[in-house]
Amino acid sequence: MSGTVRLTVARAVVRFLANQHTERDGQRQRLFAGCFGIFGHGNVAGVGQALLEAELADPTALPYHLARNEQAMVHASAAYARMRNRLTTFACTASIGPGSTNMLTGAALATINRLPVLLLPSDIFATRVSSPVLQELEDPHGYDVSVNDAFRPVSTFFDRVWRPEQLPAALLGAMRVLTDPANTGAATIALPQDVQAEAHDWPVELFDERVWHVVRTPPEPDQLTRAWDVIRSAERPLIVAGGGVIYAEATDDLRAFVEATGIPVGETQAGKGSLPYDHPLALGAIGSTGTTAANRMAREADVVIGIGTRYSDFTTASRTAFADPGVRFVNINVAPIDAHKHAGVAVLADGREALRGLADAAQGWSVADGYRARARELSAEWDRTVEHAYTLGHGPLPAQSEVIGAVNELSDPRDVVVCAAGSMPGDLHKLWRTRDPKGYHVEYGYSCMGYEIAGGVGIAMAAPDRDVYVMCGDGSYLMMSSELVTAVSEGIKIVVVLVQNHGFHSIGALSEELGSQRFGTRYRYRDPDSGRLDGGKLPIDLAANAESLGVTVLRTDGIDEFRAALTDAKNHTGGPVLVHVETDPLVHAPDSESWWDVPVSEVAELDSTIQAYKTYAEHKQRQRPHIADAEANQHGGQTS
C-alpha cells in the first residue's frame, strides 16, 4: 500500500505505537501493553486527544492508564518490562514542565537497570510564539534548551521532534534502542506542545505492523574458546549470576551447566532466582548483602564467571569479595561495558547462547568432588542461619527477618516479592528463599525509595496470575504511595506489607556503623529543650492513611496476628490490600562477612567517627583494582 494519511503528530505517535511488536524464540508480543499518563496543558489536547480517539476506535489498541505521579508511572512501566523479560513495556505521557521532569528519576532507574520504557515528555512550543509559556525554563544562553534536556544523560536515546517530518526517524530510533538488549533503557521523545497538535501527511507504511526481533547474539567461537580455556584451568571457579540470566530465560541452561560441571552460583540482586534456593550448587546472594556461603567461596575463587552482571559495588563488596591474588574473570554479557569489566575475557553474547556453547565445550569436565561438597555444606549452613532468622521469636516487636520468613512461607512459590530501598533489600537478598526465576523483584540498580508500590502495580499488571507482595518501609511509603489509588481504581490486587519502624532502619544502622550516631534517621518530634529531632515518636498512622485511599487494611500486632492477616490478604480479591506490622529496628539480619565502601570522615571531633575511620582504613587495604589481563595471567600467580 502506498499513499498518505493526514493525522496530528500525537495521533501518528499513538497509531505507530499500537502497531509495534517484539519477537524472540518465535514468540511474538506487543511491544506496548498501553500508555500511562497524567494530563496537563502540555499533552491534554495533543497526546490526550489522540489516546481518546484511539480508545473510542479500539480500546485494546493502546489502553490508557491514569497514574497519580509521573515518577511512579515510569517505575510501573519498568517493573512491567522486567517481569516480561524486557519484551513488552509501556509508553508514558506527561505534561510540560514538572509533569515531565517528575519522570527523570524513573528514567534513570530504567536506564541503570536496562529496562525498556518509552517516555513522551511534553515540551515548550516549537514556534516559541507564546514564549515563555507556563512552566517554561528560559535559558539565557540558548532558547532551544528546555527542562527536558535533563533527560539526555538518563536516557539511552533522546530526541525532540521540533517538526513533524522528524517524527518517523525519532520513533524508529527509539524502537531500535528499546528492543536492543545491550542498549535498552529509557528512550525519550520530547514532544513540543504545539507540534503534538499539528497535522501532517504521513506515509501510510509508517503505521504498518512492525516486528522488532530481539536478538540472541551467539558467542563468537574464538571468544568462547578463550573463555573456556580460562574456566577449565580453574580449580575453584564461581559463577556470578546477574539479571541477564533471567532476562535471557537462561535459568534451565544455567542449571544444566552447573550440574554438569559442579561450578557453584552466587546471585546478584537482579539475578536472584537464577537457581532455586535449595539447589545444592546455589550459594544464594553474593557480595555486601550476601550469604556466608557465597562470600566464602568468592574469597577463594580463582576464576569468576560473571553472567549478565554489571558487577555493582554491592556484588563485588566494593572490590573486596574476590580475594585470591591470581583471580581472573570471564564475563558473558550482551553489553560491552560489562563484558570487559575487571580485565576479564569478554564473551559478548546472550546468556543462554553462551551457556549452551560452554556446556558443549565442557563435556566431561568437572570441578573436584570436594569442591562440590564444600558448596553444598556452606549452602546448608546458611540455610540453617535463615531458618533461625525466620523464627527468632523476638519481642515485644518482631524482627524484620520474622516478617520476611512469614511472607516467604505463606506465599506461593510463583508469587513475587518486591522491594527497592531501605533495610529490606539487603535482608531479602540474604534471606528470601526464591523458588521461581520471576519470584524475586528487588530493584537495586537505583534502589529508589518509592519504587515499591508503583513497581508492584506494574508487576501485577504483567502477571495477573501471581500474587505480588510489596515489602514497603515507612520511609518508602511516605516517599510515594500514590499508586495505591491507581490500584484501587483499576482493581489491581497487590499485597503491601508495610513495615513500620519509625524511620530509617537501614541508614540508621549505617550511620551508627560509620560513627554518625543515627543522626537524622528517625522520625521524631523536634524536642523543644534540645532543639534537635530527638523527641517522642510521631503519632503517625499509615494504616489509616492507606484506608483513606480506599485500600483494604489489616492492622496487626505481633508475628502471629501478622501471619493470620497474610492468609486473609492472600484470599482477598480485587484491589490492593495492606498489612501493617510494626517491627524492632534494632535487630539486624545475619552477618554477610562482607563490606561496603561508604567513606568515613578522615578527621573528626567525635570519637565514634575517629574509631569508625580506623576500621574503614583497614577495609580499604583489601580493595582490589582487578586490572590484570585474564589471558596474560592464564597460569595464575600474578596479583590483579
**Can you give the binding site for ligand TPP, defined by CB under 6 A?**
421-424, 447-450, 473-476, 479, 501, 504-507
Question: CA-to-CA distance for 594 and 428, rounded, in angstroms?
Answer: 16
Hey, what long-range contacts does 255-259 have (CB within 8 A, 24 or more apart)? 255/279, 256/355, 256/359, 257/355, 257/358, 257/359, 257/362
State the binding partner of 449 from Mg ion, ligand TPP, none, CB within 5 to 8 A by kind.
ligand TPP
Closer CB to Mg ion, residue 164 or residue 508?
A: 508
Minimum distance of Mg ion from residue 556's CB (angstroms): 16
Question: What one-character-per-residue DSSP string does 299-366 give?
Answer: HH-SEEEEES----HHHHTTTTS---TT-EEEEEESSHHHHTGGGPEEEES-HHHHHHHHHHHTTT--
Closest Cα to residue 419, out of 357, 484, 495?
495
Size of the site for Mg ion (CB under 5 A): 4
* Spatial separation of the C-alpha atoms in residues 583 and 396, rounded to whole Å: 9
By CB under 5 A, the residues from 491 to 510 that bind Mg ion are 501
**Hey, what's the cell of 36?**
500511562
- The residue (of 89 and 506) whose beta carbon lies closer to ligand TPP is 506
* Residue whose CB is less far from Mg ion, 123 or 452: 452
Nearer to ligand TPP, 219 or 475 (CB): 475
Least Å distance between CB 335 and Mg ion?
34
Distance CA(417)–CA(403), nearest Å, equals: 12
Give yes or no for residue 474 binding Mg ion (CB under 5 A): yes
Q: How far apart are CA 145 and CA 139, in angstroms?
A: 6
Residue nearest to ligand TPP (CB): 473
Of the pair 462, 471, the CB lying nearest ligand TPP is at 471
Q: CB neighbours (10 Å) of residue 1?
A: 7
Q: Which is nearer to ligand TPP, 62 or 472 (CB)?
A: 472
Q: Which residue has the cell 587495604?
A: 621
How far apart are CB 588 and ligand TPP at their closest, in Å?
A: 11
**Cα–Cα distance, 296 to 266 (Å, whole number):** 11
Say which entry of ligand TPP, Mg ion, none residue 430 contacts (CB below 5 to 8 A, set by partner kind). none
- Comparing CB distances to ligand TPP, the nearer of 210 and 588 is 588
| Residue 498 to residue 484: CA distance in whole angstroms | 13
301 binds, among ligand TPP, Mg ion, none (CB under 5 to 8 A by kind): none
Q: How far is the CB of 500 from ligand TPP (least distance, A)?
A: 8
* Closer CB to Mg ion, 351 or 473, in the complex: 473
Q: How far is the CB of 565 from Mg ion (least distance, A)?
A: 19
The answer to whether 265 touches 378, Cβ cutoff 8 Å, is no
Quote the least distance from Cβ 222 to ligand TPP, whole Å.
42
Which partner from the list Mg ion, ligand TPP, none does 506 bind, CB cut-off 5 to 8 Å by kind?
Answer: ligand TPP
Q: Which is nearer to ligand TPP, 106 or 473 (CB)?
A: 473
Grid coordinates of 369: 568432588
Query: How near is the Cβ of 107 to ligand TPP at its closest, in Å?
Result: 14
Q: In 3-state terms, what secondary structure has residue 503?
A: strand
Residue 320 binds which of ligand TPP, Mg ion, none (CB < 5-8 A, kind-dependent): none
The binder of 427, among Mg ion, ligand TPP, none, by C-beta within 5 to 8 A per type, is none
Residue 421's binding partner, choosing from ligand TPP, Mg ion, none, with beta-carbon cut-off 5 to 8 A by kind?
ligand TPP
Say if residues 424 and 47 touch (Cβ distance below 8 Å): no
d(CA 219, CA 221): 6
473 binds Mg ion (CB under 5 A): yes
User: Which residues form the interface with Mg ion (CB under 5 A)?
Assistant: 473-475, 501
